[in-house]
Amino acid sequence: MHACESSKNRGAAHSRGRKLLRLAAACILAAQLAFLPLLSAAGDKPASATPPAPVSTNDPVLKAMQTELSRAITELGKDEQPPYYLSYTVYDQDFVVLAGAYGSLLGNTTAQRRYADVTMRVGTSDLDNTHGQSRSSGVTSGTLPLGNDQDAIARVLWELTDREYKRAVPALLNVRTDTAVRAEEEDKSPDFSKEKPETHIGEASAAPFDRSAWEGEIKRLSAVFRKYPEVYFSSVVLQASNSNSRMVSNEGTTLVSPTSSARLIMEAQTRADDGMDLLRVETFQAPNAKGLPGEAELTARIDKMAADLGALRKAPVAEPYDGPALLSGRAAAVFFHEVLGHRLEGHRQRDEEEGQTFTKKVGQEVLPKFLSVADDPTIHEMAGMKLAGSYDYDNEGTPAERVDVIKDGVLKNFLMSRMPIKNFSDSNGHGRNQPGLMPTGRQGNLIVTSTQIIPETQMRQTLIDEVKKQGKPYGLYFDDIQGGFTVTTRQLPQAFQVLPVMVYKVYADGRPDELVRGVDFVGTPLAALTRILTTGDQEHVFNGVCGAESGQVPVAAVAPSMLFSEMEVQKRAHQHERPPLLPPPGFEDMASPAKTAAHAKAEVKP
C-alpha cells in the first residue's frame, strides 16, 4: 500500500492513510547519489581487489569518506565473506522551520543535522544478502559528527561499517538456505545490476533567506484566519533548507549533490455539525523562499480556503454513486500516480507478494490509445509550477532519465532501480529512498499526455452530455484533491482510494452545481483505466510526498482534466465529535446569525 498526500502530512486523511499503511506489505525526501559496473556474477571480485582512486577534492568530509571506504574494502576483503559492494552516503541539512498560528509564531527552529547510510552487499550480484525479504539487511544508518573533523567522521563510519557487516553476512547465509529449500522463483534476475560509475561534484550555493522578513510574513498570514470563527484550527508553516548529499562507493562513484528548497504549507480545518472533520491545505514550493508567491496572493488563497470550509460545513453528505465523473487536472494527476504509477515501479514486477498487475503486459494496450505516460525527473518545471520529483541522480547514483512507460496506450517500460527484473536488466535512474532505507524503483515526475483533447472550458458540458446519454440525473466533478493511497499486494484486493476535497454534483437538467462532502472515489485499476473518454487541453500539477517501502520521497504528477464514463464513489468514514462548545475569543455573540456574519467579514485586530 502507498499513501500520497499534498506536502503536509497532517490531518484526518493522513492519519487514516498511516493506519492503512500498517495493514499492507508495502505502503511519503530524497537525495542525489551514483556507481561503477560490477564484474560478471560468477567472478565478482572481493571488495579488496582494487580500491577506487579517490577523486581529488578539498572537502574534508568527502576525504574522510574516501579514506575510510578504501580502508574498509581492503580489510574486509580479507574475510571469508568479503563484500562485493560498499558505499557511504552522507546527508547534510541546514534548515529553518517557521510555524505560525493566529498572528503569532508557534515555532521558530534552526537546525543542522548530518547522518550517514552504509550500504553493503555480500555474496555476488546474482545472489546477495538483500535478496527477497532480506532487503533491509543492506543498509545501516547513524548520526555523523558535524564539522570537519575527519578523524571523528571516520570513527563513526568505521563503527557503522562494522555493524552493517555483522548484519549482512548472517543475512546472506539465511538467503542461501531459503533459496535451497524453497520452490524456484519465477523471476531469476540478479539482485544487483551493472551500471557505469558516475563522478559529479556539484557546486553549493546557499539560497539567501531573510529570516526576520519571513517571521513577519508568517505572523501576518496566520493572522488572516482570525477573522473566520468557523476555522477551528489553522497554521502557516515555512520550511527552507540547504542540503548536500555525498556518496562514494567501491565501484568508483563519487557524487556531491547540493540542493536547496522552500515549501510553504497553509492548513485550515473545521468540523461539520455531524462531527465530520473538513480540511483544506494549500502548498507551494520553490528552489528557495524568493520563489514562493507574494503575500497578497497567499492572503487571497487563505480567504478562499476559509470560504471553501464554510461552504463544506453546510454541504450535504454525498451518497454512494456510480456514473460519469469529471476529474480536474490535479485530481487526474493523483489518480494516475496511485492507480497506475505504483504498479509500474520495477521491483513490483519481481516480488511474488505483489499483485503484478502489469508484469506480463509489456507490448499490450493498457490505456486508451490517446494516452501516453512518462516519468521524467530531469524536468524541473511544467505548467508554470516547480516539480517536486526532480533530481539529477537517483539514490543509487544513476543519472535520472526520462522513461516512456506507456506510449499510445501500449506498455513499454518500468521504473527501474538497480534491482533487475525479467527482460529489464538496467536501471533507468529511478532508484529512490529516504535516508536509512534501501532504494527501490519509484516515481519522480509522472506526466500524462493526451492526443484526444477538447478545450478545458468545454469539459463541463461534455460531462453533462455524457450524463444525459446514460440517463443519469447528475454527474460528479472532482475539483480539488488532498491525496490518496493504493493496495498493490496479493494479500489484499487490488484497489485504490483517492481523497477529494471539493466535489460537486453537476445536474443534467441545468440546476446549479451542488457542493457535497464526505466522498472518496474508489475502484480497481484495470477497470478504472479503461473508462477514460477524453481529456482537457491544459496540464495541471500535483506536488506531494509519497510513502512506500523505501520511505518518503517528494513526487509530482502532471495531467490534464479527464472525463470518465463511470466512476464509483463511497461515503468517507468520519468521527462524530461535536464542534467546539464555545465560540472562539472575539466572537462571544455568535449566537446571533446576523452578528456572526458581520464579524466574519470584519478583520479582528491582533
pLDDT for residue 418 is more than 80: yes
Nearest to 392 by CA among 380, 403, 384: 380
Q: What's the whole-number mean pLDDT along residues 41-62?
A: 59
Beta pairing class for 199-201 and 254-271:
parallel
Which residues are CB-contacts of 601 (< 8 A; sequence separation ≥ 6)?
Answer: 227
**Residue 45 in grid coordinates:** 571480485
Write out the DSSP string of 237-270. Answer: EEEEEEEEEEEEETTS-EEEEEEEEEEEEEEEEE
User: What is the structure's pLDDT at 204?
Assistant: 75
Residue length, the chain? 606
Q: How confident is the model at residue 403 (pLDDT cuts 50, 70, 90)?
A: very high
Q: What is the mean pLDDT of residues 99-128?
A: 96
Determine the pLDDT at residue 62: 96
Run of H or E including 7: none
Query: What is the pLDDT of the chain when averaged over all its residues?
Result: 86
* Single-letter amino acid, residue 141: S
- Best CATH choice for the domain 213-246+257-317 from the list 3.30.200, 3.40.50, 1.10.287, 3.30.160: 3.30.160
- H or E element at residue 90: strand 83-101
Q: State residue 11's pLDDT score.
A: 39
Q: C-alpha grid cell for residue 12? A: 484526518
Answer yes or no: is pLDDT of 344 > 70: yes
- The answer to whether the beta carbons of residues 326 and 562 sit under 8 Å apart is yes
What pLDDT, on the 0 to 100 scale, is given for residue 9?
38
Work out the average pLDDT over 249-266: 94
Name 597's Cβ contacts closer than 8 Å, sequence gap at least 6. Answer: none
pLDDT of residue 524: 76
Alpha carbons 464 and 508: distance in angstroms, whole number = 6
Question: What does 104-136 look like in DSSP terms, one character per residue?
Answer: EEEEEEEEEEEEEEEEEEEB-SSSBTTSGGGGG
Of residues 445 and 9, the one with the higher pLDDT is 445
From CA 276, how far away is CA 273, in angstroms rounded? 7
pLDDT at position 2 is: 55
Give the number of other Cβ atoms within 10 Å of residue 509's Cβ.
9
Confidence grade of residue 519 (pLDDT, cut at 50, 70, 90): confident
Residues of the chain with CATH 3.30.160: 213-246+257-317
Give the pLDDT score at 493.
Answer: 52
Confidence of residue 505 (pLDDT cuts 50, 70, 90): very high
pTM across the whole model: 0.86
Cβ(64)–Cβ(278) under 8 Å?
A: no
pLDDT tens digit string along 234-247? 999 999 999 999 99
Element (H, E) at 178: helix 150-181
Q: Are 278 and 257 in contact (CB under 8 A)?
A: no
pLDDT greater than 80 at residue 161: yes
CB 324 within 8 A of CB 565: yes
Over 50: is that where the pLDDT of 275 sits? yes
Assign 366 a pLDDT band (cuts: 50, 70, 90): very high
Looking at residue 48, its pLDDT comes to 41
Interval 115-140 mean pLDDT: 96
pLDDT confidence tier of residue 55, bands split at 50, 70 and 90: low
pLDDT in tens, 447-490: 999 999 999 999 999 999 999 999 999 999 999 877 766 666 65
- Host H or E run for residue 491: none
Residue 454 φ/ψ, nearest 5 degrees: -135, 160
- Closest to 222 (Cα-Cα) out of 209, 231, 210, 212: 231
**524 vs 209, higher pLDDT:** 209
Angle at 358 between CA 355 and CA 360, to 5 degrees: 105
**Nearest 5°: CA angle at 499, between 494 and 505?**
110
**Which H/E stretch holds residue 329?**
helix 329-339
Q: Is 296 left (phi over 0), alpha (psi -120 to 50) or beta?
A: alpha
Instruction: Place 233 in a pLDDT band, splitting at 50, 70 and 90.
Output: very high
Share of the chain above pLDDT 70, in %: 85
Residue 580, SS3? coil
